[in-house]
Amino acid sequence: MPNEEQQDRIDAYLSGRLADPSAFERELEADPQLRSEMEATRLALQAVEVTEHFNLKDRLRKLEAGLAPPQATPEPAAAPEAPSARVVPLNPRSRSRRWLPYAAAALLLFLAGYFFLRPVPDVPAAYAFSDVAPMDNIAYSVTKSGTGDPRAAAYAAYESGDYAAAARAFEALPEEQETDRFYLAQSLYGQGRYAEAAERFAELSMIAGFKLADEAEYYQAVSELNAGRPADGTAMLRRIANLPDHAMQADAARLLENR
């Protein structure tokens, strides 16, 4: 397939305009080179978005400075006339997508330097699904009776958002129940340990009669996406969105619409 045509398909897939995304995702699974090109394109698009974000902030700072009361300053001496610049037109086809790998590299260098020298800005995460929060505790009522119940301690840590402590507490339970395993997976997810969480959610989603199996399957899909496996995660979300009786059908459909 010509490079231009392949790049057009990658662009259409990332923007949600590809007519048959499932077929393209199967190609991604089988073709490491295609996956590499897609990730390079994704990084390049993020580089453009980040650059535009900081350019806008810079323009706003300059505008604010321009609105400040003018101060009297000595009139500068006339500068020598600068030579005029000559504009060289570029061939539109040659510049259409050859910037992608350079933009991706520029993004990595820019972010590395920026995060060392500046406070962390509000830059979107690599995957837009990382803002799916861990599920609320609906399985265990945490009391403040001070009984020393290790299960209560695990769920209390989970409810407080201390997912690392919650994971340790769940793993240390002497009699771990299926619901405890579900919230252990949620604790891993809350820490950003998406690959580990996906494995645990996958096991739970296959347990017959488990009341949170649908939720486990949904969080497995989101974990796969955040772990950098878009084909697997997207396929799972599409399956869930096409099951009217699935407890997370509406949530999966919303994620796909906002992709």
- Residues 106, 216, single domain; the answer is no
pLDDT digit string, tens, across residues 162-219? 999 999 999 999 887 999 999 999 999 999 999 999 999 999 999 999 999 999 999 9
Domain membership of residue 19 (yes or no) is yes
User: Among 84, 108, 124, which residue terminates a domain?
Assistant: 124
User: Among 124, 143, 161, which residue terminates a domain?
Assistant: 124
Domain membership of residue 155 (yes or no) is yes
Domain membership of residue 156 (yes or no) is yes
Domain membership of residue 153 (yes or no) is yes
pLDDT of residue 8: 81
HEC per residue, the chain: CCHHHHHHHHHHHHCCCCCCHHHHHHHHHHCHHHHHHHHHHHHHHHHHHHHHHHHHHHHHHHHHHHHCCCCCCCCCCCCCCCCCCCCCCCCHHHHCCCCHHHHHHHHHHHHHHHHHHCCCCCCCCCCHHHHCCCCCCCCCCCCCCCCCCHHHHHHHHHHCCCHHHHHHHHHCCCCCCHHHHHHHHHHHHHCCCHHHHHHHHHHHHCCCCCCCHHHHHHHHHHHHHHCCCHHHHHHHHHHHHCCCCCCCHHHHHHHHHCC
- Residues 46, 116, single domain; the answer is yes
Between CA 238 and CA 76 the distance in angstroms is 65
The answer on pLDDT for 74 being more than 80 is: no
* Closest to 223 (Cα-Cα) out of 200, 243, 246: 200
Domain membership of residue 179 (yes or no) is yes
- Residue 228 domain boundaries: 129-257
- Residues 106, 144, single domain; the answer is no
- Residues 166, 251, single domain; the answer is yes
Q: What's the chain's Rg over C-alpha atoms?
A: 25
pLDDT of residue 98: 52
pLDDT digit string, tens, across residues 219-236? 999 999 999 999 999 999
Domain membership of residue 81 (yes or no) is no
User: Among 87, 109, 124, which residue terminates a domain?
Assistant: 124
pLDDT digit string, tens, across residues 108-129? 555 555 444 444 333 333 344 5
Tell me which range, 143-147, 159-163, 175-179, is most confidently predicted by mean pLDDT: 159-163
Q: Which of 48-62, 85-99, 164-178 has the lowest mean pLDDT?
A: 85-99
CATH value at residue 142: 1.25.40.10
Domain membership of residue 91 (yes or no) is no
- Residues 147, 238, single domain; the answer is yes
Domain membership of residue 105 (yes or no) is yes
- Residues 223, 147, single domain; the answer is yes
- Residues 206, 160, single domain; the answer is yes
Domain count, the chain: 2
- Residues 149, 62, single domain; the answer is no
pLDDT of residue 86: 42
- Residues 115, 172, single domain; the answer is no
- Residues 220, 149, single domain; the answer is yes
- Residues 235, 249, single domain; the answer is yes
- Residues 154, 249, single domain; the answer is yes
pLDDT of residue 121: 37
